[in-house]
Structure 1
């Protein structure tokens, strides 16, 4: 259960990082509430879990804005997957946002690096403003990329796996105490309210076309399925059924090689990645989803169609 909770928190961070927009970095004030709501984790448990992930180099923790007691503002931290590709994508997002926000406020177009040099001396004064937060993220993402490139051996998957086990061993007893305490505090079960049946809706997997598709899967090749049902339907049905490995195998055959189809699939998978933290079924397929996402990115970079 302890490892499960650590994995849940980590995957929630990875899923949010994968949004590739201004909400891609979870903020501690909101993230803690979400984790409590989704998984019943207390602040004390989350403090330990975040520490485990940070010390094992699974995540990086940045200070987005400092505590300001005079204005009754709490410190806000941000969480990022310690993965070079993720960091580079987030850097692009926040450098672009910094340039756009600066232009809106000052009427001048400058590069992110020019803005960083100009605003760093004023950072403590604009710390809690929208521009200040974007600036802080842009600066920290730059620093993290340099750190991972310099100390890359400490950010390999092998290093992380070895060290997360050490951190789990160190903290397991403390986390177990929190779990036991919560069990003792659980009130007697009450009768569950009768839920009204939900309105029926038709999904791709519920249609006659889908039943025909299933018959073809056992008897025909991927190429034949694509000719009959089309790439879009093939993607949607298999994503809905969590057949991520099957899609990966289909990509390996080379039948699906149009850049547009690959880009469409990447967009569909992006939505799925964003739901990992709140969908138990998707969590089981986390490794397959991330592997498929990396494969799609490679194929897009080599595709000329």
Structure 2
């Protein structure tokens, strides 16, 4: 049931309800002041003294607030990225039809798992894959594949020598 659209929706609803319940049970954990205080307590427990250097509470610092530092930048929300991708895709092309059904990340993983490196190269050079996150996925996957591959995998078997 989890692979069906209704199953995915149920999963999202359950996760959102759990998140809302967690926020209602511990509202202080999600306030900026209590999170900053918890961070200073962690630093003090590790041996760093935040009072000697700059305080986390220092309002004059140019750092972003904690609530913004862990999430996406507003201009880089998933919905914004989807809209930008849809603007560049032809819905009648095979790639456009596949992207409308599956995420680009999933399609790239399939191509990489099948070792279709030429297809991935064409997707990059044609401009169909331009998002930084997807390019990093390709890079990291290729590096991981390179580390895990051994020359014995590609050499002829020992018994045929």
Specify which structure has the higher proportion of strand: 1
Same fold (TM over 0.5): no
Q: Which fold has the larger relative contact order, with Cα–Cα distance below 8 Å and residues 6 or more apart in sequence?
A: 1
TM-score, structure 1 normalization: 0.19
TM-score, structure 2 normalization: 0.35
